[in-house]
Homo-oligomer: A and B are copies of this chain.
Amino acid sequence: MTTIVDVARLAGVSVSTVSHVVNGTKPVGAETRRRVVHAIEATGYQAHGLARALRRSRTESIGLVVSDTGQEVFADMIRGVEQEARAAGFTLLLANSAEDRDLEVASIRALRERRVDGLLLAHVARSSPDLVRSIQQDGLPIVLIDRLSIPEVDQVGVENSGPMKVLVRHLIDLGHRRIALIAGDVDVPTLAERMVGYVDAFQEAQLPLDLGLMVTGRGLAPDSYAAATALLSAAHPPTAIVSASMLMSVATLQAARDRGLTVPADIAIATFDAPAYADLFTPRLTSVVQPAFQIGREGMRLLLRRIRQPDAPVRTVRLRPRIVHRESCGCPPDSTITLEEAA
């Protein structure tokens, strides 16, 4: 590889001059500059990023650790982060923690070793807050996305309880009283908040809560499918099911279909988070749709801000999801429900 020294020699100038024309650090005479530029093109010289970063002690790269790259929501978030990072001239280092605490720790370690300028973390279910705190204390800029935790850190996620409350209230308005909730793992703050929204809706409507209709536990596809099937097979089954995340909503629809039930006639369904192309499901799912791309973008923006001004006030951003109203809840699709009406 050709180095800055080669270029300098070829152009007949000193290395610092080359450095200055490359970085625009100091003014350089027209003729000298021409010779340098020529030499650069002749050799195809490209600065050595590592040496530069070592010297400048910043890498212009950030690390993104995601708990499950496989999920659609996260894929969209990654896109948002990537786009914003690129726009700012930053390179993205991606790591998948696969919902594994140890892997999360290891990934963060690897990224820090690479001296990323900042960290974006969508952390795993039960990761310790101390992990984040220690990173922060080391002075490494960090922003939490999607899954929020301690308020002393910049973070961006969506409103959870509000939208869920609207969803449930909508079903109540339609006359449903036995509304089941497939809540998933309530140790995940996001899911806990959604459950709160469910409970709130009942309280506001002054309706009794049937704890037997609230199912918590692992939210993976098989678990959710089992949960939905159990609910639907019960002696006194619910007339509607609300689920708290995409895997669960798909599983619910599948379970209803496999039991030969018609949605929404036999069982109404509404959900938080639906897959892309859910418009082609029959019936189409009434659901809360997260602005995943924007979460990623906003997270990266927050991180850039923190990198540039380390002492900026800490901020928690909550993005507002939108509600897509379809047929699965059992009313004509031209009726609308909005989040605003809930405010």
Q: Is A96 an interface residue (CB 8 A)?
A: yes
With A95-B86, A275-B276: A50-B59 Cβ-Cβ less than 8 Å: yes
In contact, A114 and B96 (Cβ under 8 angstroms) = no
Q: Which B residues lie within 8 Å of A114 (CB)? A: 49-50, 61, 91
Q: Is A186 an interface residue (CB 8 A)?
A: no
1/0 per residue, CB under 8 A from B, across A77-118: the answer is: 011001100100001111110000000000101111111000
Which residues of chain A in 28-87 are interfacial with respect to chain B, using CB atoms and an 8 Å cutoff? 46-51, 53-54, 59, 61, 69-70, 72, 75-76, 78-79, 82-83, 86
> A46–B110 Cα gap in the complex (Å)?
10
Number of copies: 2
In contact, B75 and A69 (Cβ under 8 angstroms) = yes
Q: Which B residues lie within 8 Å of A113 (CB)? A: 46-49
> A59–B50 Cα gap in the complex (Å)?
9
In the assembled complex, how far is the CB of residue A298 from the closest CB belonging to chain B, in whole angstroms? 18
Residue of B nearest to A139 (CB): B1
In contact, A51 and B54 (Cβ under 8 angstroms) = yes
In contact, A79 and B54 (Cβ under 8 angstroms) = no
> A130–B276 Cα gap in the complex (Å)?
37
In contact, B79 and A70 (Cβ under 8 angstroms) = yes
Residue of B nearest to A68 (CB): B79
CB contact between A280 and one of B59, B69, B111, B254 (< 8 Å): that residue: B254
1/0 per residue, CB under 8 A from B, across A268-292: the answer is: 0000000111111110000000000
> A253–B279 Cα gap in the complex (Å)?
11
CB contact between A94 and one of B72, B94, B276 (< 8 Å): that residue: B94
Q: Is A143 an interface residue (CB 8 A)?
A: no
Q: Is A250 an interface residue (CB 8 A)?
A: yes
Q: Which B residues lie within 8 Å of A281 (CB)? A: 277, 280-282
Residue of B nearest to A94 (CB): B94
In the assembled complex, how far is the CB of residue A197 from the closest CB belonging to chain B, in whole angstroms? 25
In contact, A277 and B279 (Cβ under 8 angstroms) = no
In contact, B94 and A82 (Cβ under 8 angstroms) = yes
Which residues of chain A in 293-326 are interfacial with respect to chain B, using CB atoms and an 8 Å cutoff? none
Q: Which B residues lie within 8 Å of A115 (CB)? A: 48-50
In contact, A91 and B82 (Cβ under 8 angstroms) = no
> A211–B281 Cα gap in the complex (Å)?
33
Contacts from A to B (Cβ < 8 Å) = 46-51, 53-54, 59, 61, 69-70, 72, 75-76, 78-79, 82-83, 86, 91-96, 107, 109-115, 250, 253-254, 257, 275-282
- Additional pairs, 17, CB under 8 Å, beyond known A48-B54, A48-B115, A92-B95: A50-B53, A61-B93, A69-B78, A72-B72, A82-B94, A82-B95, A82-B96, A86-B95, A86-B107, A91-B93, A92-B93, A250-B280, A253-B280, A254-B280, A257-B280, A280-B281, A281-B281
The 10 closest A-B pairs by CB, nearest first: A282-B282, A49-B113, A75-B75, A94-B94, A49-B114, A50-B54, A280-B281, A275-B277, A82-B96, A69-B79
